[in-house]
């Protein structure tokens, strides 16, 4: 049983493609967290709007970086971009819910004091992002494969 699980992990996650996705994901997370911190601390936007701003910025970066380096479709098109952004929208809604929940837990469950350590407010969006990475990988892999086609008549 463990051998089958290890084989599945090796086949799906220990690949060049997934590692590239992971590296882009780290960069994507850094962008998202930087924008989150800016909106949370400077604009006092709260976890929902701060996460939304960070997520949108990072999603646009993620689409182009993953198209170039991870999934490498032969043809990028408006349909592909739209479907990827749809996947990101579902991920955004899930991420916002998780970020708000984790922020609440940090403040009320762990009594985190963001004024003494301003980087504590990054814990919530970090965990929300980390939980969604494997799901995003499989969803984007599927979308890039299904939308990589030439337009008719060209």
Question: To the nearest whole number, what is the mean pLDDT of the chain?
Answer: 87
Give residue 91's pLDDT: 86
Give residue 124's pLDDT: 87
Give residue 153's pLDDT: 45
Q: Which residues of the chain have pLDDT under 50?
A: 152-154
Give residue 152's pLDDT: 46
Q: Which residue, 93, 88, 84, 61, is CA-closest to 143? A: 84
**R_g of the chain, CA atoms, integer Å:** 18
Residue 9 lies in a domain: no
Q: What is the 3-state composition of the chain as percent helix, strand, coil, each rounded to the nearest 5?
A: 80, 0, 20
**How many structural domains are present in the chain?**
1
Whole-model pTM?
0.72
Residue 74 lies in a domain: yes
Give residue 150's pLDDT: 59
Residue 104 lies in a domain: yes
**Which domain does 58 fall in, by range?**
16-146
């Amino acid at each position: 049983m463990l051998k089958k699980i290890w084989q599945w992990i090796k086949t799906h996650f220990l690949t060049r493609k997934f590692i590239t996705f992971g590296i882009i994901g780290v960069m994507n997370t850094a962008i998202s967290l930087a924008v989150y911190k800016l909106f949370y601390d400077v604009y006092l936007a709260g976890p929902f709007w701060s996460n939304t701003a960070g997520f949108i910025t990072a999603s646009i970066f993620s689409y182009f970086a993953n198209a170039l380096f991870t999934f490498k479709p032969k043809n990028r098109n408006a349909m592909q971009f739209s479907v990827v952004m749809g996947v990101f929208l579902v991920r955004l809604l899930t991420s916002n819910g998780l970020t708000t929940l984790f922020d609440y837990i940090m403040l009320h469950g762990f009594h985190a004091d963001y004024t003494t350590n301003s980087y504590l407010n990054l814990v919530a969006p970090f965990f929300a992002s980390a939980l969604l990475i494997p799901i995003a990988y499989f969803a984007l892999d599927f979308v890039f494969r299904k939308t990589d086609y030439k337009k008719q008549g060209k």
